[in-house]
């Protein structure tokens, strides 16, 4: 019987070195920036109990209602491959008794899983990096996490096509009043709403505001605005967030349709969106979730945070030159081959990236050096070696010259450094 070759699961992909390196660069840049604000890394399991998300995200969220990878394991436990990071951090906060340590600043990174329709920038396994600031109810916290987000996007060089959209959902009181007004308004159009929105009308009418369906959008255009239902204190909170951003020179657009998909948000919600990725425009999103930890059974603790999609940022990332370009050793003849073995190790000890072609003549090895993107080729003939020199060829500009074996590593480093600054 012919067996077909196993393939990746739909919506998942192999990150080949070029992309895996972009992922790592993005995560490292983000971690460094987050650490400047005092965030520290937390790692929570990828497998979580289903109840965590049902209770935390609410069963009307897209994630819980249709996107979770949920299964019963051989022992009968109801489990989920985590679809997002905030609920897990909140669970850890409760389980590990971290409430004594507030204000607490944590960041996380790693794969998330959602069973949605795969397309450009939308996968079933994707990378996220996120921060959570727990235990601070002041708007200063919202401003700080937004400043951190923008700093990361700037250091990655992707802010060019990106805009920050901001909104407030108000406090519990504002939302209850708005829900009443919105429901009354939408009830008149119940029959014309999309099927999905008709269901949401009973469970979570606010979600209809960000419906993608054109018939819903038309109805929503004339809907009452949440702004008119904001309590004084909710209004003040939002003003303080906006003032803080203005003070830091962070530009934003207020978007009163922005409600975000998850039930746990209150007050500030935001999205950094790009015009460069088609329909998958949100690169970083988040907001305040003062009720989440209490809803999960923990001590009432305010929180604010965000997550960005690593896959989407990787697609936006400008091309970068290798920071430590490869050096190729090209030994000619058996004696040089033996010398190359130890030389390669010595150069690596000095911090250089070195490849020795494993076989072949000069032409074949030079071709290989080119293929692996080497910046320098060290051509080692046995006569030259006896003289105590090697021939170093710059593969970018084609120049070539003899370099003494003594201090070879230092000379190469200098050469690579000047090449790097000039480039």
Residues near ligand ATP (CB under 6 A) are 84, 114, 116, 121-123, 126, 128, 261, 280, 282-285, 307-309, 311-312
Q: Give the nearest distance from C-beta 117 to ligand ATP in angstroms.
A: 9
- Report the nearest approach of ligand ATP to the CB of residue 212 (Å): 9
Q: How far is the CB of 127 from ligand ATP (least distance, A)?
A: 8
Q: Which is nearer to ligand ATP, 130 or 302 (CB)?
A: 130
360 Cβ contact partners less than 8 Å away, ≥ 6 residues apart: 368
Q: Which two tokens stand for residue 19?
A: 């992309």
DSSP readout, 257-325? T---S-TT-EEEEEEEEESSSTT--EEEEEEE-TTHHHHTTS----EEEEEEEHHHHHHHPPP---SS-
Asked if 107 contacts 115 with a C-beta cutoff of 8 angstroms, the reply is no
Q: Which is nearer to ligand ATP, 128 or 301 (CB)?
A: 128
Shortest spacing between CB 67 and ligand ATP, in angstroms: 8
Phi, psi of 168 (to 5 degrees): -120, 140
Q: Which is nearer to ligand ATP, 11 or 49 (CB)?
A: 11
Helix residue ranges per DSSP H, 320-376: 334-349, 362-371
- Helix or strand run (H / E) with residue 71: strand 69-72
Question: Closer to ligand ATP at the Cβ: 307 or 343?
Answer: 307
Q: Residue 133 CB, nearest distance to ligand ATP (Å)?
A: 16
Closest CB to ligand ATP belongs to which residue? 309
Which residue number, 312 or 368, has a Cβ lying nearer to ligand ATP?
312
Please, which residue, 266 or 380, has the CB nearer to ligand ATP? 266
- DSSP letter at 210 equals G
Nearest to 379 by CA among 388, 392, 360: 392
Q: Which is nearer to ligand ATP, 144 or 315 (CB)?
A: 315
Q: How far is the CB of 312 from ligand ATP (least distance, A)?
A: 4
Angle, nearest 10°, between helix axes 17-36 and 139-155? 140
Residue length of the chain: 423
CB of 253 to ligand ATP, least distance (A): 16
Cβ distance to ligand ATP smaller for residue 12 or 391: 12
Radius of gyration of the chain measured on its C-alpha atoms: 28
> How near is the Cβ of 183 to ligand ATP at its closest, in Å?
23
Report, in Å, the least distance between residue 58 CB and ligand ATP.
13
79 CB-near residues (< 8 Å, 6+ apart): 47, 48, 49, 50, 70, 71, 72, 73
Separation in Å, CA 249 to CA 26, 162, 197, 258, 286 = 24, 15, 38, 22, 20
Nearer to ligand ATP, 22 or 312 (CB): 312
Pull the structure tokens for residue 193.
């709403």
């Amino acid at each position: 019987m012919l067996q077909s070759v196993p393939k990746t699961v739909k919506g998942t992909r192999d990150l080949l070195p070029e992309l895996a390196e972009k992922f790592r660069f993005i995560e490292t840049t983000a971690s460094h920036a987050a650490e400047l604000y005092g965030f520290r890394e937390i790692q929570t399991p990828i497998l979580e109990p289903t109840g965590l998300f049902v209770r935390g995200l609410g069963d009307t969220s897209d994630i819980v209602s249709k996107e979770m990878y949920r299964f019963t394991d051989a022992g009968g436990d109801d489990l989920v491959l985590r679809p997002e990071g905030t609920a897990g951090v909140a669970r850890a906060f409760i389980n590990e008794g971290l409430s004594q340590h507030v204000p607490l600043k944590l960041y996380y990174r790693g794969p998330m899983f959602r069973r949605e329709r795969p397309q450009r920038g939308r996968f079933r396994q994707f990378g996220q990096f996120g921060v959570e600031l727990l235990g601070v109810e002041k708007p200063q916290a919202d401003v700080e996490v937004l400043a951190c987000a923008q700093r990361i996007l700037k250091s990655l060089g992707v802010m060019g096509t990106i805009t920050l959209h901001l909104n407030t959902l108000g406090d519990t009181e504002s939302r209850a009043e708005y829900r009443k007004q919105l429901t009354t308004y939408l009830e008149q159009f119940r029959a014309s709403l999309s099927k999905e929105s008709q269901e949401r009308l009973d469970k979570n009418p606010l979600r209809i505001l960000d419906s993608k369906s054109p018939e819903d959008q038309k109805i929503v255009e004339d809907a009452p605005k949440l702004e008119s239902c904001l309590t004084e204190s909710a209004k003040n909170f939002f003003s303080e967030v906006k003032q803080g951003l203005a003070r830091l020179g962070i530009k934003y657009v207020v978007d009163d349709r922005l409600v975000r998909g998850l039930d746990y948000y209150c007050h500030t919600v935001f999205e950094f969106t790009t015009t460069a990725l088609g329909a998958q425009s949100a690169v970083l999103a988040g907001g305040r979730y003062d009720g989440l930890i209490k809803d999960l059974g923990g001590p009432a603790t305010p929180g604010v945070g965000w997550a960005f999609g690593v896959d989407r940022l990787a697609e936006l990332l400008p091309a970068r030159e290798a920071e430590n370009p490869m050096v190729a050793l090209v030994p000619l003849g058996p004696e040089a081959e033996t010398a190359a073995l130890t030389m390669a190790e010595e150069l690596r000890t000095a911090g250089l990236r070195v490849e020795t072609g494993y076989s072949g003549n000069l032409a074949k090895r030079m071709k290989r050096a080119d293929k692996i993107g080497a910046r320098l080729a060290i051509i080692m003939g046995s006569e030259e070696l006896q003289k105590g020199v090697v021939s170093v060829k710059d593969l970018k500009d084609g120049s070539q010259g003899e370099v003494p074996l003594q201090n070879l590593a230092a000379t190469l480093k200098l050469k690579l450094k000047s090449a790097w600054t000039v480039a």
